[in-house]
A and B are shown apart, each in its own frame.
Chain A
Amino acid sequence: AQSVTQPDIHITVSEGASLELRCNYSYGATPYLFWYVQSPGQGLQLLLKYFSGDTLVQGIKGFEAEFKRSQSSFNLRKPSVHWSDAAEYFCAVANWRGGNQFYFGTGTSLTVIP
C-alpha cells in the first residue's frame, strides 16, 4: 500500500534562510510524487511534481525537490525563504488509475520569522 511520511510536523525558519522539508514515501511501483502548499482555510496549490526523468525538479515560487529512489525520499527545498512562504506543505504520492488518486502525508507547518 502506498503511504507518505513527513517527519517534521512544524518547522520555523528565519526569513532569507534556506529550507528543506522532508518526505518519505512507500509505493510498490514507479512513484508519481507531488508537493502541494495550503494557506489557512484554502485549497491546495501544486508546487511541483515528479513523474520521471531528471530527479531534480523545479517548481513555482523558487521551490525545487529531489527524488532519491534509494532513500525513498522526495525532499522539498528553497534556498531563501520569504515571509509569504508560511503555510502548510503536503507531500503526496499518486496512484494514477485513470486520473490521480493522491495519498498525502500529514503535512509540515512552516513558520517564517523576520
Chain B
Amino acid sequence: ETGVTQSPTHLIKTRGQQVTLRCSSQSGHNTVSWYQQALGQGPQFIFQYYREEENGRGNFPPRFSGLQFPNYSSELNVNALELDDSALYLCASSWGTGRGPTEAFFGQGTRLTVV
C-alpha cells in the first residue's frame, strides 16, 4: 500500500460536463504527476506539478488543467468532457530533488466514465 490516495474512486459524468479529480500525495513528496489510462492501454502522461508549478505536460488539450496546493496535494480538472475521456486517471507522487530520478508511487486511480 502506498500513501497516495485518490478521490473519488469512480465517477460517471455526462458529455460536456466538467470534472475535478483529487490526489493526496505521499507524506514528504513534493511532486505530483497525472496519467490517463484508457482501457487496454498503458498510462499516458498528462502533466506534472513540482512545488506548485507545472513542470512538464504531455500531449493533452488545454481543457485538461491542474493545480498543486501548498501541502502538495493536487487536482486534475477536465472541462467539456468527451466520450474519449473515459479512462482510469492515475496520480503519482515522488520526491523531486532536481538531481536525478526518484521512485514514484501511484494511487489506485479514479475510474471516469463519460456517457
Which residues on A are within 8 Å of B, measured CB to CB?
A: 4, 32, 36, 41-46, 49, 51, 90, 92, 94-107
Contact = CB atoms under 8 A, between A and B. Distances in A.
B41 A100 contact: no
A100 B106 contact: no
Given A99-B31, A99-B102, 10 more contacts: A43-B2, A43-B90, A43-B106, A44-B90, A96-B101, A96-B102, A100-B31, A100-B92, A100-B101, A105-B42
Interface stretch (B13-21, B43-51, B73-81): B43-51
B98 interface: yes
Given A100-B31, A100-B94, A107-B42, A51 B100 contact: yes
Given A90-B42, A104-B42, A107-B41, A99 B104 contact: yes
Contacts of B44: 104
Contacts, number: 83
Interface residues of B, number: 33
A99 B55 CA distance: 9
A102 to B, nearest CB: 6
Contact of B43 (A51, A95, A98, A102): A102
Contacts of A36: 106
B22 to A, nearest CB: 15
B66 interface: no
Interface in B16-56: 30-31, 33, 35, 41-45, 48, 50, 55-56
